[in-house]
């Protein structure tokens, strides 16, 4: 099969690798029909995460089941499915909450070494009854792909931000996760959403969706717009030192900063005394993917939640090197790249 691999910073290739085999009787093999390039994949591409050997990339996939183990009950060969990007064992009390982040054995993520990469022709999925879901009626490919990671992440970011009804939210970073967070914040009761980024095209896109665009860094402008009070909630979908400081400075006393951006491997100098004196709540998580599906799927099916326009670029799998370069440019025109094996 073909698989997208990274052989060093900026060195993306599409290589031929052995077809995967079932890792156990609870597993399935998926023929991937669409995969996404995520902002967190770029940490490998930009050299922020060290690795000793080539890594098969990708953790966002939808596809068709081509093989199942004897213990799999929820899906069958031929089913179209979405795959949770975050994997748990599926059998512990933590996974029983439908949140793979809570797995007692520790979460794993596709495309980070331990599990195969989703940007490939085929993908082996352990704990298939936990990690797979048939694509429901009325859910298109782009929506299904966003449900595997970015939309689940953005939805959880907004939930964990303690948004008051009629409140003010700032979303820092307007990539796919940030845009999903923006739309989730409106859905969850925000009256005003400040959309923060450095890229003019992304700011315009957020403005078209009803947000108030602000060029980063934004704390000073947000304080001015709120009479010196600050935003009730801030969602950081970037998690650089600069964005984290901006988020902590922009939130009001007693407010919440919800972080879902992926930080690098260097320690962050948290201004703990300032957070203490201002009674700031800081929450951080990766995507609790399966837990969000019962809420998000009906909202998408009904049309109440609109995620159109987040995927902006589609390329065949063989053009993955160009796809990564496009994603890494972080332009206003190209927000998220979809690869089609």
- Region 159-172: mean pLDDT is 98
Are 168 and 190 in contact, with CB atoms under 8 Å apart?
A: yes
Q: Are strands 11-16 and 55-56 parallel, antiparallel or unpaired?
A: unpaired
Are 119 and 63 in contact, with CB atoms under 8 Å apart?
A: no
Contacts of 247 (CB under 8 A, 6+ apart): 170, 172, 234, 235, 236, 257, 259
Using one digit for the tens of pLDDT, what is the confidence trace for 14-55? 999 999 999 999 999 999 999 999 999 999 999 988 887 899
Q: What are the structural domains of the chain?
A: 2-149+288-339 (3.90.180.10), 152-284 (3.40.50.720)
What pLDDT sits at residue 50?
82
Share of the chain above pLDDT 90, in %: 96
Using one digit for the tens of pLDDT, what is the confidence trace for 296-339? 999 999 999 999 999 999 999 999 999 999 999 999 999 999 99
Using one digit for the tens of pLDDT, what is the confidence trace for 167-198? 999 999 999 999 999 999 999 999 999 999 99
CB under 8 Å, gap of 24 or more: what pairs does 225-231 form?
225/194, 226/168, 226/252, 230/255, 231/168, 231/169, 231/170, 231/194, 231/255
Both tokens of 116, joined, read 């195969």
Contacts of 292 (CB under 8 A, 6+ apart): 147, 151, 152, 155, 156
Contacts of 277 (CB under 8 A, 6+ apart): none
Contacts of 242 (CB under 8 A, 6+ apart): 216, 217
Using one digit for the tens of pLDDT, what is the confidence trace for 218-255? 999 999 999 999 999 999 999 999 999 999 999 999 99
């Amino acid at each position: 099969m073909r698989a997208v691999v990274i052989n060093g910073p900026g060195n993306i290739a599409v290589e031929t690798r052995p077809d995967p085999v079932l890792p156990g009787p609870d597993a399935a093999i998926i023929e991937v029909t669409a995969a996404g390039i995520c902002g967190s994949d770029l940490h490998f591409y930009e050299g922020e995460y060290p690795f000793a050997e080539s890594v098969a990339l990708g953790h966002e996939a939808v596809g068709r089941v081509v093989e199942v183990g004897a213990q799999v009950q929820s899906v069958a060969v031929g089913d179209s499915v979405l795959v949770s990007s975050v994997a748990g064992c599926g059998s512990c009390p933590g996974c029983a909450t439908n949140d793979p982040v809570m797995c007692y054995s520790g979460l794993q993520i596709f495309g980070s070494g331990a599990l195969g990469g989703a940007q490939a022709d085929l993908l082996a999925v352990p704990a298939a009854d936990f990690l797979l879901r048939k694509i429901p009626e009325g859910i298109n490919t782009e929506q299904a792909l966003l449900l595997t990671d970015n939309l689940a992440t953005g939805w959880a970011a907004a939930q964990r931000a303690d948004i008051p009804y009629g409140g003010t939210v700032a979303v820092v970073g307007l990539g796919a996760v940030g845009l999903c967070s923006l739309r989730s914040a409106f859905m969850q009761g925000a009256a005003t959403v400040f959309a923060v980024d450095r890229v003019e095209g992304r700011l315009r896109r957020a403005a078209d969706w009803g947000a108030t665009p602000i060029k980063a860094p934004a704390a000073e402008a947000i304080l001015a717009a709120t009479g010196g009070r600050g935003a009730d909630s801030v969602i950081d979908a970037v998690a650089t030192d600069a964005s984290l400081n901006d988020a902590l400075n922009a939130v009001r006393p007693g407010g919440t900063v919800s972080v879902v951006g992926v930080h690098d491997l260097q320690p962050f100098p948290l201004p703990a005394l300032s957070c203490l004196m201002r009674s700031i709540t800081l929450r951080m998580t990766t995507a609790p993917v399966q837990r969000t599906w019962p809420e998000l799927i009906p909202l998408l099916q009904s049309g109440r939640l609109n995620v159109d326009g987040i995927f902006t670029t589609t390329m065949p799998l063989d053009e993955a090197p160009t796809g990564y370069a496009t994603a890494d440019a972080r332009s206003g025109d190209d927000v998220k790249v979809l690869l089609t094996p």
